[in-house]
Structure 1
Amino acid sequence: MAPGKKILGEERRSLILTWLQDSQEPLTGSELASRTNVSRQVIVNDITLLKARNEPIMATSQGYVYLPQPSPEKWYERSVACFHSPEQTEDELNLLVDFGLLVKDVKIEHPIYGDLTASIMVSNRKEVAQFIQKAAETNAAYLSQLTNGVHLHTIAAKDERTLDEAEAALKKAGFLLVEN
């Protein structure tokens, strides 16, 4: 591609889809914009159009990822209710990924909007560090700050025992919301 030449419409969306499918790492909107010589907003619109075509693209704090079709290997999921301060977010996420878990999302119950869910998609300490860094760089509040620290995570693991162990570790660390 010649420097400065815009990649247009359907050709650009096709390239974006290919790059996302081939990438092992998330690709940021800025990176995709640079590759195609368009604005980041154009990329956001392209991603929306691709999602409307049922392409399994997810926006994460690290960038866009293409979620391949599920493998035959079964993953088990569980929602866990957690409670902690914003300063403890990194410790909580590191505790979970150290069990080999995928932390898929965070959910809160908002008094006006009802259930709000945001993608996290972290599975190792590097991804946690990137998530925390992005929050710091953008000065963004965590969803849990809207509910005084109360939130849910969807966690996934290759077996139920790992989920049980991670939940027990959350409880021991004081991050698990328990009934009084």
Structure 2
Amino acid sequence: MTGDLRRQHILNDINQSSVPLSASRIAKKYNVSRQIIVGDVALLRASGHDIMSTARGYIISKHEGVIHQIAVSHTPQETEEELRIIINHGGIVLDVTVEHPVYGQITGMLNIKNEDDIQDFLKRVSQNDTGLLLTLTHGLHLHKIECKNEATFEEIKSSLNNAGFLYHND
């Protein structure tokens, strides 16, 4: 199989999957190395395909509704509550961004849609002994949130504000 044909198959696989596909899983399917798949995905992105890389694998960005970025601040221990507020009001947490004084903007793709995703994220954080990005900025961070409409986004903002998580620069 040529590289062009493999990339077309990879694009189809990612596009048709309802769950993120890891580079290792794709590599096994096509009997190539994980690094070949990483390169293939880079070439697909360079040709204009909106492939997101999450900690669980690759997905195609398919947005239905409105997307807004919101500034929040809380402790690491409050992360689960913050994510649950967003999810319970119908939002999807697409990413997290912090502004680092040395590296500039650092963004991590999350794609958290439901309770299982929250638990999986928290489990990966604890198992890998890594800190949350918010620890780099004393709790302040941004989330890109997808919602079905503006009213849903306003509900999320209101609930985050009531919980004391919405950032205000007073």
Residue of structure 2 in register with 1:15 after alignment: 9
Deviation at 1:139, TM superposition (A): 2.5
| Cα 1:80–1:38 shift into 2, 3 Å | same
Residue pairs, 1:125-144, within 5 angstroms: 125-144=115-134
Amino acid at match of 2:30: T
Whether 2:135 is the aligned partner of 1:145: answer yes
Q: Percent identity?
A: 36
CA-based RMSD: 1.8
Tell me the alpha carbon deviations over residues 11-41 of structure 1, each in whole angstroms, 9 at most, x when there is no partner.
Answer: 3212211111111111111211221122222
TM-score (norm 2): 0.90
Q: Distance in 1 between matches of 2:21 and 2:106?
A: 24
Unmatched segments (≥5 aa) in structure 2: none
TM-score (norm 1): 0.85
Deviation at 1:9, TM superposition (A): 2.1
Amino acid at match of 2:42: T
Whether 2:74 is the aligned partner of 1:84: answer yes
Whether 2:40 is the aligned partner of 1:53: answer no
Q: Distance in 2 between matches of 1:29 and 1:85?
A: 32
Tell whether the 8 Å contact from 1:80 to 1:155 is kept in structure 2 after alignment. Answer: yes
Residue of structure 2 in register with 1:36 after alignment: 30
1:123 to 88, 113, 119: 113
Unmatched segments (≥5 aa) in structure 1: 1-6
Q: Distance in 2 between matches of 1:142 and 1:8?
A: 40
Aligned residues between the structures: 170
Whether 2:59 is the aligned partner of 1:65: answer yes
Q: Distance in 1 between matches of 2:6 and 2:126?
A: 32
Amino acid at match of 1:51: R
Whether 2:134 is the aligned partner of 1:155: answer no
Tell whether the 8 Å contact from 1:100 to 1:124 is kept in structure 2 after alignment. Answer: no
Residue of structure 1 in register with 2:99 after alignment: 109
Amino acid at match of 1:79: Q
Deviation at 1:97, TM superposition (A): 0.7
